[in-house]
Amino acid sequence: MANRDYYAILGVGPRATPDEIKKAYRKLARELHPDVNPSADAQERFKEVTAAYEVLSDPQKRQIVDLGGDPLAPGGGGAGAAGPFGGFADIMDAFFGGAAGMGSRGPRSRIQPGADALIRIELDLADTAFGTTRDITLDTAVRCTKCNGAGTAAGTHPETCQTCNGRGEVQSVQRSLLGQLVTSRPCPDCGGFGTKIRNPCPDCAGDGRVRARRTVTVKVPAGVEDGMRLRLAGEGEVGPGGGPAGHLYVEIRERAHESFVRDGDDLHCRVQLPMTAAALGTEVALATLDGEERLVVKPGTQSGSVTTLKGRGVPHLNRGVGRGDLHVHYDVVTPTKLDADQERILRELAKARGEETPEITVTNPAANGGSGLFSRLRDAFK
């Protein structure tokens, strides 16, 4: 039996390159595959084309052909070495552009999005309540101005990787009873980019970005609280290859105030009153966030009672209008040292009120709010 002309079956010449052989096979496989052309002649022709490609795509078998032999002839060293499924992976390659079950990923882009950045700033209560503006200094990655993020020296461009021919990946082929098993991995020479930078930018060394110190203006809205984060879009780290910058998050840290404790948008403070002032009533000056206000203390004010100043708290965040309240908690202070005249006057008062031997009433602290907010605030003040 005369040796089959595998080159003629595929319609290529003896000097055809592996890529030309693959291209010819793909074209014929699309035309002759049984799913496309169910005729008996086409099926027979499809088997011949598949066998021809199996031979010519294998360097050892192709060498046998070039020496005048037929690797698929009886005793030719390969009668079905890969079995009837020898070209299955390449048939899938012809129809879907990749090996069976393995889609080509293609080269990775050098341009990648940047990472987000986080910075914390400390503000006073007045700043968080009414808003403020702060200039903060950052040390982050910015786009290289010398190469504009390209990573290449002036007048040069990335070159196609010769190892992977720009695909960004290399393939290895193993033959089994089920055909050719093709596996892909990132090209070790170019790192999967498909290109190599032979002449990197001297400023960024090919990364497309450099570290730099810059100033960013942060507008803090009125009503922010401790722990809140403000997002400044596009003010974070610039990505590799001059990619888009991430976001900058500014975390608020509110310093403790010397007079007020904050509870959401409400403020709480404690005012200590002498026993006589609480009994007789008085008027005191109270410093608020809006300035000094006169606070009227009613006669008979008890320790633990509260006066609420409407709208003297923190503005509501993102509402535009409205504020929280300022709650003033009273502590009546009992004198610990009395001179003789003071002691005499108090004893006369106690006698006049019938309190020389007072009757006491025992109550549960939780019944009148002893375990509530004010108790926690009192502990915090202490």
Q: Is the pLDDT of residue 223 over 70?
A: yes
- Tell me, what amino acid is at 211? R
pLDDT at 256 (0 to 100): 94
Instruction: Calculate the alpha carbon distances from 191 to 31, 163, 194, 201 in Å.
Output: 37, 11, 8, 18
pLDDT band per the 50, 70, 90 thresholds, residue 230? very high
As a dihedral over the C-alpha atoms of residue 49, residue 54, residue 57, residue 59, rounded to 10 degrees, the angle is -140
Q: What is the DSSP string of 280-311?
A: H-EEEEEEETTEEEEEEEPTTPPTT-EEEETT
Question: What's the DSSP call for residue 138?
Answer: E
When the candidates are 3.30.70.890, 2.60.260.20, 1.10.3720.10, 3.30.360.10, the CATH number that belongs to 261-381 is 2.60.260.20
Q: Between β-strands 229-232 and 248-254, what pairing exists: parallel, antiparallel or unpaired?
A: antiparallel
Q: Is the pLDDT of residue 136 over 60?
A: yes
CA distance 43 to 290: 92
Q: Is the pLDDT of residue 8 over 80?
A: yes
Q: Is 261-381 in the same CATH topology as 6-96? A: no
The verdict on domain 6-96 having CATH code 3.40.1390.10 is: no
CA distance 77 to 3: 14
Q: What pTM was computed for the model?
A: 0.62
Q: 354 vs 127, which has greater pLDDT?
A: 127
Q: Is the pLDDT of residue 235 over 90?
A: yes
Q: Is the pLDDT of residue 145 over 60?
A: yes
CB 321 within 8 A of CB 311: no
Query: What count of residues does the chain have?
Result: 382
* Domain range summary for the chain, segments of one domain joined by +: 6-96, 117-154+197-254, 261-381
pLDDT at 339 (0 to 100): 93
Query: CATH number of the domain at 117-154+197-254, please?
Result: 2.60.260.20
Which two three-digit tokens encode residue 220?
Answer: 């803090």
pLDDT at 373 (0 to 100): 55
353 exposed, middle or buried (CB, 10 Å; 0-12, 13-18, 19+)?
exposed
Of 33-42, 52-61, 320-329, least confident by mean pLDDT is 33-42
pLDDT band per the 50, 70, 90 thresholds, residue 310? very high
Which two three-digit tokens encode residue 291?
Answer: 């300035």
CA distance 239 to 219: 25
Q: Between β-strands 282-288 and 326-333, what pairing exists: parallel, antiparallel or unpaired?
A: unpaired
pLDDT band per the 50, 70, 90 thresholds, residue 89? very low
CB 9 within 8 A of CB 25: no
CA distance 277 to 288: 21
pLDDT at 354 (0 to 100): 85
pLDDT at 379 (0 to 100): 57
CB 315 within 8 A of CB 223: yes
Q: Is the pLDDT of residue 267 over 90?
A: yes
Q: What is the DSSP string of 250-277?
A: EEEEEPPPSS-EEETTEEEEEEEEEHHH
CB 197 within 8 A of CB 151: yes
3-state DSSP: the chain helix, strand, coil percent, rounded to 5?
Answer: 25, 30, 45
- Tell me, what amino acid is at 109? S
H or E segment and range at residue 351: helix 340-353
| Greatest Cα pair distance in the chain | 140
Q: Is the pLDDT of residue 368 over 60?
A: no
